[in-house]
Structure 1
Amino acid sequence: MKRIQVIGIGAGDPEHLTLQAVRAIGATDVFFLLDKGEEKDDLAALRRTILAEHARQPHRVAVVPDPARDRTAATPAYAPAVDDWRRRRADAYERLVLDELAEGECGAFLVWGDPALYDSTLAALEEVHARGTADFTWAVVPGVSSVSALTARHRTTLNQVGRPVRITTGRRLAEEGLPDGPDDIVVMLDARQAFAALAGRGLHIYWGAYLGTPDEILLSGPLDTALAVRISQVREEARARKGWIMDTYLLRRPAGRQ
């Protein structure tokens, strides 16, 4: 039987690896990597560093291009665009399992952050398994998420005492506005910089980009117009410099304040 491990490798710091992840990497025969292009070679570089230190010898690395995704689709077309991208990713995973993994071997996907949080790897593997073209089992190793890294670097908690937390996307925050229930809202995948529209509403923001990497940027404070403009400027300068950006933030309002 072919075996696959989906291993969370943390938010960018090689020391985010758990002991379980280290053991899983050491037990892997073939590592599956998605090539995201030269602009995002930093993401591949972290994986190469991890393999150099923790993978057993010999091991193999199989690389396939990461399917392009339409991130500009308007809301009515967004879900179909995501479905199409996930299908094409499943096609790539299917080829890897069929062509690169022999019976009795263990393959692994090294997933940035935690595989359970806004990552498509598990959904794509489930689709491949449901197709019935490849027979394999899979296991998941949790990792340090960007959310955990964000709160740790800002030396704050994720929630206030006895209060709920919501994790959402920038797209949903921009379209739906600030939710009434939770006092702490984690926002990921925010290409729209939705926080800017919430300036002056009594919120505190903890923002971070490239968490855990040498390029890490942290900003925090009361979300007034000046800070919103500052974050936007820093964000755009960083994107222009590196060609991509990966950021996350926590919005907090005093408990009970709506």
Structure 2
Amino acid sequence: MKKLSIFLMALCFATALSAQISYLQYRHVPADHEDKFVERETKHWSKVAQAAIKKGQMSSWSLWKKVGVTNSYDTTPNYVIVNTFESLDNMDMNKVWSDNMDALGDVKPEDVETMSFTTTTFDYFVQREDYIDGNYKFALVNYGKPTDLTAFIQENRSLWKPLHQASIENIMNAMTYWGMSSVIYPVGNLDRFSVFTVDGFNKLNDALDYLRFTETSDNSPNAAAWNDVIDKTKMDELMPNGFERRIIYERVLTVK
């Protein structure tokens, strides 16, 4: 039994070392600068990311816009830039940008910068824990702070993932993707979230419809399976107050 436990710990450690890593940069972009911000990020900086991806320095780059306004403070992000790497060992963000600036062509970096008129409200390094692959345009991101992160991840893998897998394969609620990531940094009791799951959809109405059904599971197209999971879940113990936030983001552009 002791040897088995050591083996499982070693396996988990090896998996963590090879897990996909993303750097999430949350930005607040004033309304009167949104068009300029989106144009510069998608037309110019995405080319730098694309060059890094072709060299194997990065896996993907994407820009997401938050749907709606939760509040109007400058500390509230309305865009997220996601830089993804194959593993922590392969992540070198300084190299990504310093080695590939020639991808801008004749454009000067200072003429297309986006930092001077936006605010980086916070940023995160996260590790992908599990996922069900698929294409999606809208991401319902469920931010959480479970009392036991390991138990939360294990339950999502063993209990919730099969439910979402069935929904995606049978197109029961229009979900086309599911994923789960844990926070590497920053961490601590006062931080915003330590984990999040992503429910992917191709239409905003489908994401909104899903939010309605998850609040009233008896009305869900997958009600029987949903209620079976509800009977087994320990989420009430792991997250007594539920998710900290549930926010929908729309994909602006992805390069990979």
Indicate the TM-score class for this superposition, using the shorter chain for normalisation.
under 0.3
TM-score (norm 2): 0.28
Structure 1 length as normaliser, TM-score?
0.27
Larger strand share, 1 or 2: 2
